Amino acid sequence: MTMMNIVQAINQALKSEMEKDDRVILLGEDIGKNGGVFRATDQLFEQFGEKRVVDTPIAESAIIGAAVGMAARGLRPVAEIQFMGFIYEAMDQMAAQAARLRFRSGGTQTAPMVVRAPYGGGIRAPELHSDSLESAFAHSPGLKVVMPSSPYDAKGLLIAAMRDPDPVLFLEPMKLYRAFQEEVPEEDYEIEIGKANRLREGEDLTIITWGPPVHTVKAVAEAWWKEKGVSIEVIDLRTVAPLDMETIIASVEKTEHVIIVHEAVKTGGVGAEIAALISEKALYSLSAPILRVTGFDTPYPTAMVEEEWLPNEKRINEAITAVLDE
Amino acid sequence: MSTYDFKLPDIGEGLHEAEIVKWLVKEGDRVKENDSIVEVQTDKAVVEISAPVSGEIEKLGGEEGTAIKVGEVLVRFAGISDERAQGASAEEVELPTPPEEIEVSAAAGEGPLKKNKTERILAAPSVRKAARDAGVDLREVSPTGKGGKILAKDLQQYLDSGKEQEKQERKDEQEAAAKAADQKEIFSSGEDQVEKITGTRKMIFEKMTKAQQNAVMCTGMDEIDVSSLVQMRKTLIPNAEQYQTKLTYLPFIIKAVTHTLKRYPIFNASVDEENMAICYHQDIHIGVATATENGLLVPVIKHADKKSILEIAREIEGLTQKARDRKLKATELAGSTFTISNTGSQGGWYATPIINYPEVAIMGIHKIKKQAIVVDDEIQIGHMMGMSLTFDHRIIDGEPSGRFMHSVKELLEKPELLILEAK
Amino acid sequence: MWIEQEQLEIEMIKYIDEDGKALHTDSSIEKEKLIEMYTGMVKARVFDVRAMKLQRQGRIGTYAPLQGQEAAQIGSAFATGEKDWIYPSYREIGVSLMKGMPMEKLFLYTMGHLEGLAQKEANVFPVQIIIGAQYLHAVGGAWASQYKGEDSVSVAYIGDGGTSEGDFHEALNFAGVYKLPIVFIVQNNQWAISVPFEKQTASKTIAQKALAYGISGVKVDGNDVVAMYTTMKKAIEKAKAGKPVLIEAVTFRQGPHTTADDPTKYRLTDEETQWSKKDPLVRMKKHLIQSGIWNEEKDKKLFDEMDSSVTQAFEKAQSTEPSQLKDVFENIYQEKTRQLEEQQLQAEGGNRP
């Protein structure tokens, strides 16, 4: 066990998998000599050389499109999109190409590849650097979308993603990259994609969340227990596509009250999908409306208002009061 | 030789009709497959259509300059070889008919479809479900929640008050009876006492009537040598006590029943009369019919198949306590998929239990008594228990019910089997 | 220094003229190969003409005809080897056939059969619908073969319209930077649905675009199968030596864009007549007859043979078990998710939604 932060955990996952499997190739902008703008690929260029850690021209569509071609021909590319907001450039290659290759080739071609992208707000970044766009990809059958919230999860999920037979979009919360450290095993291990993590058990209310808000929600849940004796169950989804239906439904049946917290904008978000799922499978367990605490339906705002725009403690507390008051 | 109707295919992408521009053939002409026959104009293009079969043109589907709809006959061919005609019709694609234009009446949205607003009930889905399961019309429940919302506790209150009322009525009845008896002494004839059927009694009344009116019930009976079970329970009682749990026979019986339900899923089902269907339940929730001073209650052990005997024992204890204290939640009284009726030590040796409708079977278990039995041609004293199984004969035959009873019997006569199959 | 495209003199490579006369004496292709290419062209033409008719009879779905482009497709495909990979658009039926794709598979595809998607009989990537997207897959494929040290070239096809896409630029740029074993073929058939070549680009030629990426470019008469074949052979050699190539094959789309299109709305019959004189099959047939290795009788026999093999293929496709809704869930992920399992049950009429 070593104490490490998310960037270090990601770096170690890439390194250990590249040592084991020479089909793994990294490609992206500034990931070579520079080690990535967040240093996620630090020292990998030095260790594995320019054939395996490739600095590409600035062309998101080509990075992902070429990765599709590589993966179909037996390699295991890990592409980096420098900031998730830039992935719009490559929307076709993600949603219409990587996602569908298995289907549109009748199973004769596959694209086992990982696309890594930093995302999320709270770091006063320029426009299109902070957006959470997971729902667009959760809406593309064929893709898996993984969103770790801790160093331990980041390493285990990234290794699982690199070994997955299907394309995985691996989203890295920028705000948490260096926010804290935790014990992470030195050896490699996998965390199953598609399984949520019940971070905290509770009886009165379930909060479902993923990515950066996980930590806010955890703190809020602890406070409600200490101050008011309200017991809140916290589920960190870890993967937003495919959703872990069992864990969600089991929890809702137990607590009968649900809040969903995500940074992405509200309308058409993954939270809406979860709410629909609950209404299909556990409506009669509900004792109150399902509430969502999310980003607002605007472009990600400028730095001066982002803290208020994001789901913060105040907004989560208000939602809890409203749900329990039902 | 036969004829073949060539219907205008959708040759654009989502075409509805086409105009016949020019016929390249006339009636009576002989054409070969793939020969051009007509030019048509669609919304998108002028295209030439060729013959899908070889044969004689018997009839053209329209004049030049007229429109023809997708799916209408463009050309009728005669003199088709039967094999080809067959092939042709087999490959014929079922074309989606364009939707008929729907007449929109000005009155749409009004009339009987509109609900009376005053009937609107505010309640969470969980409360609605509990009310439905308990047979309660939510309109009768007084809300205490914000904005006139009916809360779970309002429903509970309603159910309890029914019981209260019933109790009061029973008291009144007894008093009246006593009074009547007093009066009898002086041989004066009294008035008959009329008691309103309400609350829990009304619910039981309605449920029983429904079962009797709908199901065709048939009861089978058997006796079980539970000597080994008696011994086993005795040995386990101290262990259960370590967990502050009272170990009765019921958990063992429930376990034997859940094993048997897995073997014969038709018994863990319900009847959906509206759709003429049998619904096989995935989960096994065992209702335990219990007589309380408030009337017959059926608390439910959810997922009984996934729980240990100890867990079931504890849950029964908890539910019984709650029943006595009248603290059972409506949700704890709903959702059973199979019911066991325990007639207790005061009950008879057999019974004909009434199905907990729309379930399809109910098992009665009766008192255990010592009895002389024959084992290996010798007379011994055995602990014998009576068992009855009522089933809905509309969907279950006698033979499977025999197998069901045999399975329960086998598991209870040799309870070690429960360990063998335990999960 | 100013650079103007007027400074460029880009000559079109041509081996046979419109009357079938050989223009080069150095063409030393064996006569068997010539006949094989002509056979491939006839096969593509007969398939194409039949497919158009079948669509009009409502027996197959939307179809994108290749008529007029047989030489560009057959000549280039014939030059590739077994280990080479093809990344086609929807119009490369001729290429697929030449690479050994069975005709009934192509019919199954146009009939909307799920099985028509599974093309494992040849090294041909699935048909691409998004214009230009396959250029990047070809880049990735070439990159993989370079990395693994395979003796394989990736060959990607688009039309003139495809050169306007960003993916075209990104692909050529990557290929140049990484010196990939790749040949990009643009069949300049003059029309991108209704937009003519001169409105697609201000470049005089497509071949010259190669210069911007530091790769080789060449302009070929795309209706001359010998020129196409010979040029493609050289291009593959270059690509294997780390010099990617962009080939502009000048040709003409004789038919509509697809069966859902009517070219009379946007182009003059004059142009069609002009180009029909340059028909690639007619030209090659004349050349073969002039070379003394072909005659009318053989020609008729070849067309008849192809006609009946197309009929057979279509019958085979028709007798294939129809696809069922429940089958669509099979190739989404290697392992079906819980959601897909549930929806598949639903599709089979099992559970409620």
Which stretch of B209-218, B385-394, C74-83, C283-292 has the lowest confidence by average pLDDT? B209-218
Does residue B218 contact residue B390 with C-beta atoms inside 8 Å?
yes
- Crossing angle of helices C133-148 and C166-178, rounded to 10°: 20
Nearest to A5 by CA among A182, A153, A123, A174: A182
Distances (CA, A) of C145 to A50, A55, A74, A97, A132: 16, 19, 9, 20, 35
Chain B hits for A281, Cβ within 8 Å: none
Please provide residue A209's backbone torsions phi and psi, each rounded to the nearest 5 degrees: -155, 175
Neighbours of C, requiring at least 3 CB pairs below 8 Å, are A, B
The single-letter code of the amino acid at B117 is K
Q: Is the pLDDT of residue C8 over 60?
A: yes
Q: Is the pLDDT of residue B93 over 70?
A: no
Nearest to B42 by CA among B14, B63, B72: B14
Give residue B188's pLDDT: 56
Catalytic residue, chosen from B16, B281, B383, B393, is: B393
Chain B hits for C322, Cβ within 8 Å: none
Residue B94 — very low, low, confident or very high, per pLDDT cuts 50/70/90?
Answer: very low
Distance from CA of C273 to the nearest CA of B (A): 19
Mean pLDDT of B397-401: 91
Chain B hits for C259, Cβ within 8 Å: 11, 47
Rg of chain C (C-alpha set): 21
Q: Which of C50, C55, C265 sits opposite B11 (nearest CB)?
A: C55
Read off the pLDDT of residues C246-298 as tens digits, 9 standing for 90 and up: 999 999 999 999 998 889 889 998 999 999 999 999 999 999 999 999 999 99
Whether the CB of A324 is below 8 Å from some CB of chain B: the reply is: no
Residue B37 — very low, low, confident or very high, per pLDDT cuts 50/70/90?
Answer: very high
Residue tagged 């099959």 (tokens): C281
**What stretch of H or E contains B287?**
strand B286-292
Q: Is the pLDDT of residue B92 over 60?
A: no
Q: How far apart are CA B286 and CA A89, in angstroms?
A: 57
Give residue B190's pLDDT: 67
Mutate to test the interface with A, among B126, B150, B282 (most CBs of A within 10 A): B126
Chain A hits for B124, Cβ within 8 Å: 286-288, 326
Residue C83 in tokens: 């280990």
Which stretch of B84-98, B297-311, B363-377 has the lowest confidence by average pLDDT? B84-98
Which position has the higher pLDDT, C199 or B198?
Answer: C199
Q: Is the pLDDT of residue C119 over 90?
A: no
Residue B237 in tokens: 């009682």
Q: Which of C125, C145, C339 sits opposite A242 (nearest CB)?
A: C339
Residue C55 in tokens: 């669509």
Q: Which of B10, B45, B51 sits opposite C58 (nearest CB)?
A: B10
Burial B266-287 (b: 16+ CB within 10 A, else e): bbbbbbeeeeeebeebeebbbb
Burial C267-298 (b: 16+ CB within 10 A, else e): eeeeebeebeebbbbebbbbbbeeeeebeeee
Q: Is the pLDDT of residue B256 over 50?
A: yes
Give residue A318's pLDDT: 97
Mutate to test the interface with C, among A23, A24, A56, A103 (most CBs of C within 10 A): A103
Q: How far apart are CA B419 and CA C56, in angstroms?
A: 70
Residue B325 — very low, low, confident or very high, per pLDDT cuts 50/70/90?
Answer: confident
Distance from CA of C102 to the nearest CA of B (A): 21
Q: Which is the CATH superfamily of the domain at C8-322?
A: Thiamin diphosphate (ThDP)-binding fold, Pyr/PP domains (3.40.50.970)
Give residue A164's pLDDT: 98
Q: Do C318 and B91 touch (CB under 8 A)?
A: yes
Q: Where are the domains of chain C?
A: 8-322, 324-353
% of chain B residues with pLDDT over 90: 30
Give residue A166's pLDDT: 98
The tens place of each residue's pLDDT in chain A, 326 residues long, gives 899 999 999 999 999 999 999 999 999 999 999 999 999 999 999 999 999 999 999 999 999 999 999 999 999 999 999 999 999 999 999 999 999 999 999 999 999 999 999 999 998 889 999 999 999 999 999 999 999 999 999 999 999 999 999 999 999 999 999 999 999 999 999 999 999 999 999 999 999 999 999 999 999 999 999 999 999 999 999 999 999 999 999 999 999 999 999 999 999 999 999 999 999 999 999 999 999 999 999 999 999 999 999 999 999 999 999 999 87
Q: Which of B126, B145, B149 sits opposite A286 (nearest CB)?
A: B126
Q: Is the pLDDT of residue B227 over 50?
A: yes
Read off the pLDDT of residues C171-192 as tens digits, 9 standing for 90 and up: 999 999 999 999 999 999 999 9
Mean pLDDT of C64-92: 97
End-to-end Cα separation, chain A, in angstroms: 45
Residue C295 in tokens: 């005659």
Catalytic residue, chosen from C45, C50, C253, C287, is: C253
**Residues β-bridged to residue B279:** B270
Residue B47 in tokens: 């295209």
**Residues β-bridged to residue B361:** B391
Which are the catalytic amino acids of A? 129
Residue tagged 């001073």 (tokens): B293
Q: Which residue does chain B place closest to A325, by CA atoms? A: B146
Q: Do A107 and C331 touch (CB under 8 A)?
A: yes
Give residue A148's pLDDT: 98
- Strand duo B30-31 + B55-60: pairing: antiparallel
Residue B319 — very low, low, confident or very high, per pLDDT cuts 50/70/90?
Answer: confident
Give residue B205's pLDDT: 83
Q: Is the pLDDT of residue B117 over 70?
A: no
- Strand duo C154-159 + C85-87: pairing: parallel
Distances (CA, A) of C183 to A45, C12, C205, C221: 29, 18, 17, 17
Mean pLDDT of B281-305: 85
Q: Kindly give the residue spans of alpha helices, DSSP state H, lying in A166-212.
A: none
Q: Do B152 and A286 touch (CB under 8 A)?
A: no
Q: How far apart are CA B13 and CA B22, in angstroms?
A: 22
Give residue A177's pLDDT: 96
Q: Is the pLDDT of residue B160 over 50?
A: yes
Whether the CB of A321 is below 8 Å from some CB of chain B: the reply is: no
Return the DSSP state at A34: T
Residue tagged 């009929």 (tokens): C311
Mean pLDDT of B39-57: 87
Burial C103-131 (b: 16+ CB within 10 A, else e): bbbbbbbbbebbbbbbbeebbbbbbbeeb
Q: How far apart are CA A123 and CA C174, in angstroms?
A: 33
Q: How far apart are CA A317 and CA A307, in angstroms?
A: 15
Give residue B189's pLDDT: 63
pTM score of the predicted model: 0.73
| Cβ within 8 Å of C, A 93-152 | 93, 96-97, 101-110, 141-142, 144
**What stretch of H or E contains C75?**
helix C70-79
Mean pLDDT estimate for chain A: 96
Q: Is the pLDDT of residue B119 over 90?
A: no
% of chain B residues with pLDDT over 70: 86
Q: Label residue B140 exposed, middle or buried (CB < 10 Å: 0-12, 13-18, 19+).
A: exposed
Q: Is the pLDDT of residue B83 over 70?
A: no
Mutate to test the interface with B, among A281, A284, A321 (most CBs of B within 10 A): A284
Does residue C74 contact residue C98 with C-beta atoms inside 8 Å?
yes
Q: Do A69 and C139 touch (CB under 8 A)?
A: yes
Whether the CB of A69 is below 8 Å from some CB of chain C: the reply is: yes
Give residue B176's pLDDT: 77
Mean pLDDT estimate for chain B: 82
Which position has the higher pLDDT, B210 or C250?
Answer: C250
Q: Do C56 and B93 touch (CB under 8 A)?
A: no
ipTM associated with this complex: 0.92
